[in-house]
Amino acid sequence: MRILLVSGHGPLRSALARHFDGLDTVQTVLEAEDTGNAVTILAGDPTIDVVVLQEAEVEEAWGSLLSRLHAAGPRARIIVFGRGNNAAAARHILASGADGYLPGTVTEAVMPHVLPLVAAGAAYVPREAGAGAPSAAPDPPAPPVVLSPRRRQVLEKLAAGRSNKQIAHDLDLAHGTVKMHVVALLRELNATNRTEAVARARAAGLLGT
């Protein structure tokens, strides 16, 4: 995965770039100091998968900015890294065209799971962004989660605290295949990290207590 990190705050941008560069799913981290520079880089590099944009750097209307970024890099997905934990701001940014929103309070442990999900075409909406949103009628009950035998094996290994490399060894799978199963499990269980996925799986009766 190729990431473009957009932030005018040099030390923060460098720290985030180092963090992203250390993730198994990330091959390249590019940096832009402002949105104008980001548009130029996107227009010249159609292989960028995800743009991570710091909310504090944005001065123009979100709809206009996100339209410019999408036009420059139609393939790229856009995640906004928030200043804090503002649900109204998150909802506005997502409604304006962002593909995901990471509150400023998010922990580093969440990022390795969010980036592949968004890059694969899913949207990431934090719980606080959904809180208080108006709805005409209650949502229908979610359908039961049905896992393939192999995915259930991976889930059981997650519940046992095994790492991706350990799961790959235990099940005689490629490391990349295990990562795909883990990402799919997070999506199917509507979880943001491995711990939450295991808890939700137990609540759904997919794992023993």
> Which pLDDT score, from 0 to 100, does residue 40 have?
95
Q: Which of 100, 130, 160 is the last residue of a domain?
A: 130
Residues 6+ apart with CB under 8 A from 161: none
- Written as one letter, the residue type at 136 is A
CATH number of the domain within which 85 lies: 3.40.50.2300
* pLDDT per residue as tens, the chain (209 positions): 899 988 888 787 888 788 787 877 788 889 998 889 999 999 999 999 999 888 876 777 888 889 999 999 998 999 888 776 777 888 888 888 888 888 877 666 677 777 787 877 777 776 655 544 444 444 444 456 677 888 889 999 999 999 999 999 999 999 888 988 888 888 888 878 888 888 888 878 888 65
> Which pLDDT score, from 0 to 100, does residue 165 have?
92
Same structural domain for residues 118 and 32?
Answer: yes
What is the rounded distance in angstroms from the CA atom of residue 189 to the CA atom of residue 146?
10
Domain, as residue range, for 196 = 149-203
What is the rounded distance in angstroms from the CA atom of residue 48 to the CA atom of residue 118?
13
> Which pLDDT score, from 0 to 100, does residue 139 have?
44
The total domain count for the chain is: 2
What is the rounded distance in angstroms from the CA atom of residue 13 to the CA atom of residue 144?
41
142 lies in some domain: no
162 lies in some domain: yes
Same structural domain for residues 60 and 162?
Answer: no
157 lies in some domain: yes
Same structural domain for residues 28 and 102?
Answer: yes
Using the structure block, give the residue that is written with the tokens 């023993």: 208
Same structural domain for residues 67 and 20?
Answer: yes
Q: Which of 130, 159, 180 is the last residue of a domain?
A: 130
Contact 3, 50 (CB under 8 A): yes
141 lies in some domain: no
Using the structure block, give the residue that is written with the tokens 């940014």: 93
Same structural domain for residues 96 and 157?
Answer: no
